[in-house]
Amino acid sequence: MHSNYVSALFSRETGTLVSLTYNNQEMMKQGPKPLFWRAVTDNDRGNNFAFDHSQWYGASIVQKCVGMKLEEKESHATIEFKHALSIHKDVEMTVSYTMYADGKIKVKSHYQGVKGLPNMPIHALSFKLPADYKQLNWYANGPMENYSDRRNGARLSWFQNTPTENIAGYVIPQETGNFTGVRRVDILNEKGQGMRITSLTDALECKILPYTAFELENAFHPYELPPVHHTVVTVAGQQSGVGGDDSWGATVHEEYQINAEGCLQFNFMIEPV
């Protein structure tokens, strides 16, 4: 570690971590927010994915914090935020942050669904770091992008890349740059300083890009993507597969979809490097 000084600030109004400084350097340009949408793929367009799952788009855009709980102990403190989602009033969504004296923060995302909801595209938390943090060191399935139903060609290994390199050269911008089996990823600046994300339960799925899912979604050509201002980190417990049996109606196989009627959760650790 280059420094042992860590400061964190949470907001009751927005229900998230709004500031995280490592040695007086601000890391959070936008705090973690529940994300249930991914930029549609060519296969998604062929099977009306966006129409059938559009409620999750709205649930990702519009949320509100409806409760906060703080628990303090000798060795750590936990703050939990309860979020209301527009998709259904009875859905339970909580995100908790446990802060330890050494600067580590344990993050837990917990979702409890209800019957009748469409399958979920992705169960994730997404946040933005300064664009200077663009050196990525992974221990995950790679080195090429892979998904739950497209990972047999990947291997668990150490590899390096940048957010820009994780943008595949599709004619139409779409979902891209995902890695499964993520055990750890370091997000560093040119000085080798930054943030480490470590899985605490089952291996995670992560994508670290220069754009949000919505920026990718709203561009019909690569030149329409905006200038790079952030490093966008998306940590997911699970993302739907991408299919590909054909591109004119075949859906993702059922075992690679996410049933939104039950319980979903994942945990990871954030710490300075």
Is the pLDDT assigned to residue 3 strictly greater than 50? no
What digits encode the pLDDT tens for the residues 181-209? 999 999 999 999 999 999 998 889 999 99
**Mean predicted lDDT score pLDDT of the chain:** 95
Of the candidate ranges 4-8, 131-135, 161-165, 181-185, the one whose mean pLDDT is the lowest: 4-8
- 1 band by pLDDT with thresholds 50, 70 and 90: very low
Residue 81: strand pairing partners: 68, 95
Is this structure's pTM higher than 0.85?
yes
Confidence (pLDDT) at 2: 44
Residue 1 lies in a domain: no
In this prediction, residues 102-131 reach a mean pLDDT of 97
Residue 112 lies in a domain: yes
Residue 92 lies in a domain: yes
Rg, C-alpha atoms of the chain: 18
Query: What is the total count of domains within the chain?
Result: 1
Confidence (pLDDT) at 4: 63
Domain that residue 125 falls in: 6-272
Angle at 202 between CA 199 and CA 205, to 5 degrees: 65
What digits encode the pLDDT tens for the residues 57-112? 999 999 999 999 999 999 999 999 999 999 999 999 999 999 999 999 999 999 99
Question: Tokens 């019909």 identify what position?
Answer: 220
Domain holding 119: CATH number?
Answer: 2.70.98.10
Confidence (pLDDT) at 203: 82
In this prediction, residues 241-259 reach a mean pLDDT of 92
In this prediction, residues 235-240 reach a mean pLDDT of 97
Residue 23 lies in a domain: yes
Q: Percent of the chain scored above 70 by pLDDT?
A: 99
Is the pLDDT assigned to residue 34 strictly greater than 70? yes
Is the pLDDT assigned to residue 270 strictly greater than 50? yes
In this prediction, residues 12-34 reach a mean pLDDT of 96
Q: Percent of the chain scored above 90 by pLDDT?
A: 95
